[in-house]
Structure 1
Amino acid sequence: MPKPKRQLTGVAKDKYRIPKEEILYLKRVIFDMENNRSRLQQAREHAQYHDTPLSWTHVAAALKADMLDLSYVNRGLKKSIQMHTQTANLLSLWVSHQSLHAPKPTTTRETWQSSHLMLGDPALRKTACEWISKQMVHNTPQAMADIPFPFDADDQIHVHVLDDDDGVVRTKVMAQFMLPFPRDQVTNAVWTAEGSFCATQLDVFDCNTEDVGHGPRRIQLKTLSYLSSTTSDESIMTLRTIVQDDAHPTDKKTWLMETKMWIVMEQWGPQYTRVRTFFTMTQPFTKRGFVSVEEYARFQRNVPIEYPVDTKALLRQVKQRSYDGHMEQRRQWKEHVLRAFAAARFGRVRNNLKMGLVGLPNVGKSSLFNLLTAQSVAAENFPFCTIDPNEARCAVPDERYECEYPAYLQCTDIAGLIRGASEGAGLGNAFLSHIQAVDGIFHVIRAFESEEVVHVDDTVDPIRDLETIQGELCKKDLSYVLAQRKARETDVRKNPTMKLPPLFFTVMDTVQELLEANKSIASKNDWTAPEVDKINELIPAAITTKPIIYLVNLTKRDFIRKGNKWLVPIKQWVDSHGGGVMIPFSVEFEQELWDQRKVNKEFVPEVPSVLPRIIKVGGFIKAEVVGFEDFKTLSEGDKKGMSKVKAAGKYRQEGKTYVVQDGDIIYFQFNVTNKKK
């Protein structure tokens, strides 16, 4: 009698279940192997008759391909001629309007004249931006000689707030600090941090709007950033505001500010980098001239104004306020760089990146997912409408779209978490496992009141919601860390020859203390390189090491007027919990904008959408680099990989700003999906 098959149930059944992702991966492998077998078979059949001439079909196909290549080259040459002709005409017009008797530049006068961008096609404007930026890089020594820098390695900040005879305030800031990391890594971190630091200081929106005088005044800052590696031991980053842009003219009442900044990063020994910053800023002005001291004081908010106005006393208060603000800003900038550095080092980057939408129920996750990915998943007014995660991809906006394959960002709509999710409340353990599978987190926060959309806790309180999500993520990581630690220590007890290194206990103890204090692992800014490697080795699935982008969902009215009572408290909470990028948006506004564009594709809104910014912030690139000479010396013919190179510390990670050197061996990882076959 045949023995009956064993029926698997419960835990055993789940243990032998093949994940859906693995099945899809194996199907793709089978498909690629079948295509490869077909190509090899055709090549073998052709090799048997290699002495015979090619058929006319193959000859015609080859000629067609050559003609297409020549056509592309000819089209590119025509565009190049047209662009250079237009550039020459515009430059001739610009030169004709310049003064022929301009004063000779001196050591105290800039050798470039303006940051004026003219009209023209994208290629011409790009050339103009490069010219302005390279002029700033060229004049870096002259600009930074305007203020003395210390010769030692101590951290120092100096702020000089001056006023001329007309009462116009001009600020000069010098800052220097040391970072215990190589220059290439510091350069990537500074470039990343500077891209988001202005928004954290001026306002949570792109532009700063304050009530000044009899109506709102907006300070418009269009900045131009540039990074240059002048030598093997030095990198220079420049930033300058575009005061006049003919393609985007400003209103007469719009406030502008002339700002220029130089950041010089110098290698200081094998493992240290000295970062020097020189920053200048003028008083706000309009097309009519500089704003008055009284208006400037109202903008600074914390400067009291007494009537009748004592202009000299008010000017002293404005200068003191500027001094205090810039001193604190430079300290925060260093912390921001360290946070960006930590986030980049903890990110486990793969060839196909995923960002997960996380938050409480009914905060707008599924609605945002539909807008980002052009999907129509269910988004209802009750908790746990989403059970299984929805996955889709969204194209990354890029002006190069017409000539290159677009990049895509994978987005995952994860069901809402509630208090007690780490203990299983609301199917929370399953939802937290979905978060472990993504590479970064879009944390959606509700900051809008609506009687039609119920809140899981009955009242709207974003700070309470942030604490809830943070607490559940930390509890999930804590249970994961304790399990991993117990498993390692159990293995050591079973094998007397094994011994855990001291770094194991140092890292695990610190991680456990952070999580028990409801702090994320990435919130600690001074992790060393060996500690980061040990964390990635021991707890690779930790949630709180993932980069987080905070998306604050507002009403349409609040988004358009750029104001909400919760924005400042949310920003303060984010800064006190490790920092991160914060982007206010409105599902209500974006949905109406989407509907209008479906009716009229040429519709141009007065307030632009922030969805492209959200998508771009979610994408990133990484390259693993080793020099050929280091590889040749250390590998000693070892074909097994980079183990000896990594052990010697010569295998490093670089970001999108890295300049490739001769002989580099590079493994690129980027969030671009493969082209469909």
Structure 2
Amino acid sequence: MILGIIGLPQTGKKTIFELLTGVPAAKAPTRDGITHGIAPVRDARVDTLSAMFNPKKTKYAEFELALPPDLQPDNARTASWLDPIRRTDALIHVVRAFESDNVFHILNTVDPARDIETVELEFLFADLAMTELRIERINKELRIKPSPQKEKEKEVIERCHAQLQDEKPLRNLEFNAEEMKLIRSLQFLTLKPMVTVINAGENLEEEKAKHKALTDMLLARGDTVVFLSAANEQEMLELDEAERDAFMADLGLSEPASHRLSRSAYGCLGLISFFTCGPDEVRAWPIPAGSTAPEAAGKIHSDLQRGFIRAETIRYEELIKAGSEKAAREAKLHKLNGKDYIVQDGDVIEIRFN
């Protein structure tokens, strides 16, 4: 699954990309003008399991990032800017809240609420145009041949159209599985889950208080909000571990905010993690929430899904409380689950297969 990074120019999008991927944007692979990267999901549970099993290799879950070109007055609502964003599954919207005489703002002043509305309106207008075109096409098709399925699709899209005319994003509407299937191909921009990153100055607590009304509005409409200072985060990368810990302590941080952002973005994609543990590797595997045990097995290898018999599972918390894999087995904490088992976030799994 792909998460796109969007926002006005000079907001810190490239820095966020680099913080999440650990790769300079200039050195990352580019296709059709879109910069791509892989972001590890910093998960303390992986670190704890790695300390318990002492494997040769430790691997976090990952997701893909896409960094499209900047939104400019001459490319707004154009296919070259919108299409790459439509192909993403969720979005990180980086918004500037920091003041700097050295960094130009395209709209001349720093105003996070205005900037969020500027980008949101571009998405609303693009989606509104999409609904109007689709309704027009369906009406033509219905005049030629009546279809209950087309009538249902028209009903759903008209509901979307009304929502957009009220200047409200589609992610605030509720759709059942059938309705989502009808509109999925339209790739509505305002339907995508959103993480809003407020890229602030050094004093994050002051910035949070200053922008509380904006944060409340974003949370009320279902967005995830992360406050950070990209400049501080970038500076941390250049420090050794002891200096970094001291720097974070001075800022009142228990971990880099970019780690928290990676988890927020991961959750925004609707993903959860299960773990496989052994002497060779401790690994977190990303799967969509609601996946079955055979689907989780297939994430590891297709042969495991085809030959799936049972999934032996233990909750991460139970394993850690037991103190070791051996102690957990002696306490008979592991459970055998069949094909219908829905994997839970934090399951430690061993697949039995034929």
Mapped partners of 1:434, 1:408: distance in 2: 20
**Residue 363 (structure 1) shift:** 0.5
Letter in 2 for 1:514: Q
Change (3 A) 1:411 1:491: same
Which of 527, 542, 555 is the aligned partner of 2:188?
Answer: 542
> What's the counterpart of residue 375 of structure 1?
23
- Establish whether residue 390 from structure 1 lines up as the match of residue 7 from structure 2: no
| Residue number in structure 1 paired with 2:105 | 455
Q: Which amino acid aligns with 2:121?
A: G
Alignment of 1:162-201 (within 5 A): none
Correspondence list, 1:442-591, <5 A: 442-494=92-144, 496=145, 498-524=147-173, 526-536=174-184, 539=186, 541-556=187-202, 558-559=203-204, 561-563=205-207, 566-576=210-220, 578-591=221-234
User: What is the aligned partner in structure 2 of residue 413 from structure 1?
Assistant: 67
Give the counterpart letter for 1:574 in structure 2.
Answer: L
Superposition RMSD in Å: 3.4
Contact 2:236 2:244 in 1 (8 A): no
Q: Which residue of 1 aligns with 2:260?
A: 613
SS in 2 for 1:444: strand
Kept in 1: contact 2:2–2:66 (CA 8 A)? yes
Q: Of the candidates 664, 667, 676, which is equivalent to residue 339 of structure 2?
A: 664
Check conservation: 2:200, 2:207, Cα contact below 8 A: no
Q: Radius of gyration: which is bigger? A: 1
Deviates more, 1:459-468 or 1:476-485: 476-485
**For residues 576-617 of structure 1, what are the alpha-carbon distances to aligned partners after superposition, in whole Å with 9 as ceiling and x for unaligned?**
5x2221110001111111112389687663133111110011
**CA-CA distance at 1:479 after TM superposition:** 2.1
* Residue segments in structure 1 that go unaligned for 5+ positions in a row: 1-352, 380-386, 629-659, 671-677
Superposed CA offset, 1:261-306 (max 9, x none): xxxxxxxxxxxxxxxxxxxxxxxxxxxxxxxxxxxxxxxxxxxxxx
> Structure 1's 601 and 363: CA in aligned 2 closer, same or farther, altered over 3 A?
closer
- Give, in angstroms, the shift of residue 505 of structure 1: 2.8
1:445/1:550 contact within 8 Å kept = yes
**Contact 2:135–2:154 (8 Å) recurs in 1:** no
Q: Cα deviations across residues 173-199 of structure 1 (Å, max 9, x unaligned)?
A: xxxxxxxxxxxxxxxxxxxxxxxxxxx
Q: Do 1:463 and 1:569's aligned partners in 2 also have CA atoms closer than 8 Å?
A: no
Contact 2:9-2:70 within 8 A present in 1 as well: yes
**1:510-536: per-residue Cα shift (whole Å, max 9, x none)?**
101111222111112x44454344333
Aligned partner letter, 2:236: L
Distance change >3 Å, CA 456–CA 491, structure 1 → 2:
same
Letter in 2 for 1:360: L
1:390 shift after superposition = 1.0
Q: CA, structure 1 residues 477+554, in 2 after alignment: closer, same or farther (shift >3 Å)? A: same
Whichever residue aligns with residue 457 of structure 1, its letter is L
Give 3-state SS (helix, strand or coil) of 1:618's partner.
helix
In the alignment, is the contact (CA less than 8 A) between 2:201 and 2:207 conserved in 1?
A: no
Once residues 9 and 59 of structure 2 are traced to their aligned partners in structure 1, the CA distance between those partners, rounded to angstroms, is 36
Distance in 2, matches of 1:575 and 1:625, equals 27
CA contact (8 A) 1:552 1:584 kept: yes
Contact 1:448/1:554 (8 A) holds in 2: yes
Residues 407-437 of structure 1, C-alpha deviations (whole Å, 9 max, x = no match): 112122222224575444xxxx312211111
CA distance in 1, matches of 2:106, 2:19: 23
Instruction: Give the letter aligned to residue 440 of structure 1.
Output: A
Report SS of the residue matched to 2:103: coil
Q: Which 5+ residue runs of structure 2 have no aligned equivalent?
A: 273-287, 295-334, 346-354
Q: Aligned residue for 1:438?
A: 88
CA contact (8 A) 1:626 1:665 kept: yes
Shift in Å, 1:359: 0.7
| SS of 1:664 mapped into structure 2 | coil
User: 1: distance between equivalents of 2:10 and 2:84?
Assistant: 18
Aligned twin of 1:296: none
Q: Call closer, same or farther: CA 1:518–1:418 in 2, change over 3 Å.
A: farther
CA drift of 1:482 comes to: 2.6
Q: Shift of the alpha carbon at 1:492? A: 3.6
Residues 2-151 of structure 1 aligned to structure 2 (within 5 Å): none
Q: Which amino acid aligns with 2:163?
A: L
The alignment partner of 2:4 has SS state of strand
Aligned length: 270
Q: Please give the alpha-carbon distance, in whole angstroms, between the structure 2 residues aligned to 1:412 and 1:626.
A: 28
* Superimposed CA distance per residue, residues 32-90 of structure 1 (whole angstroms, 9 cap, x where no aligned partner): xxxxxxxxxxxxxxxxxxxxxxxxxxxxxxxxxxxxxxxxxxxxxxxxxxxxxxxxxxx
- Structure-1 separation of matches of 2:190 and 2:93: 12
Given that 1:420 and 1:472 are in contact with CA atoms closer than 8 Å, whether structure 2 keeps it comes out as no
**Structure 2 Cα separation of the partners of residues 627 and 549 of structure 1:** 29
Q: Paired residue for 1:364, among 8, 12, 16?
A: 12
Do the aligned partners of 2:196 and 2:224 also contact (CA within 8 Å) in 1? yes
Using the TM superposition, give the Cα deviation of residue 447 of structure 1 relative to its aligned residue in structure 2, in angstroms: 0.7
Is this contact kept in 1: 2:198–2:225, CA < 8 A?
Answer: yes
Alpha-carbon distance, 1:458 to partner: 0.5
Note if contact 1:515-1:521 (Cα within 8 Å) is conserved in structure 2: yes
**Quick one: distance in 2 between partners of 1:366 and 1:422?**
19
Q: Cα 1:468–1:487, aligned 2, differ >3 Å: closer, same or farther?
A: same
Counterpart-to-counterpart distance in 1, 2:293 and 2:209: 52
Could you say if the C-alpha distance between residues 545 and 374 of structure 1 is closer, same or farther in structure 2, counting changes exceeding 3 Å?
A: same
- What SS does the aligned partner of 1:542 have? coil
Deviation of the 1:487 alpha carbon: 3.4
| Residue type of the alignment partner of 1:617 | S
How far apart are residue 452 of structure 1 and its match? 0.4
Identity of aligned residues (%): 22
Helix, strand or coil at the partner of 2:196 = strand
Which has the bigger relative contact order, CA under 8 A and spacing at least 6? 2
| AA of the residue aligned to 2:130 | Y
Q: Is the 8 A contact 1:548 1:580 kept in 2?
A: yes
Equivalent-residue separation in structure 1 for 2:218 and 2:15 (angstroms): 24
**Matched residue type, 1:410:** E
Deviations 1:140-174 (A, max 9, x none): xxxxxxxxxxxxxxxxxxxxxxxxxxxxxxxxxxx
TM-score by length of 1: 0.36
Could you say what secondary structure the match of 2:102 adopts?
coil
Following superposition, the deviation at residue 473 of structure 1 comes to 0.8
Determine helix, strand or coil for the equivalent of 2:38: strand
Between 506-515 and 482-491, the greater mean CA deviation after superposition: 482-491
d(CA) in 2 for partners of 1:492 and 1:473?
Answer: 28
Q: Relative to 1, partners in 2 of residues 1:582 and 1:664: Cα closer, same or farther, differing over 3 Å?
A: same
Taking the aligned partners of 2:42 and 2:135, their CA distance within structure 1 comes to 43
Q: What is the alpha-carbon distance in structure 2 between the residues aligned to residue 627 and residue 396 of structure 1?
A: 22
Whole-Å Cα distance in 1 between the matches of residues 96 and 68 of structure 2?
16
Output the amino acid matched with 1:412: A
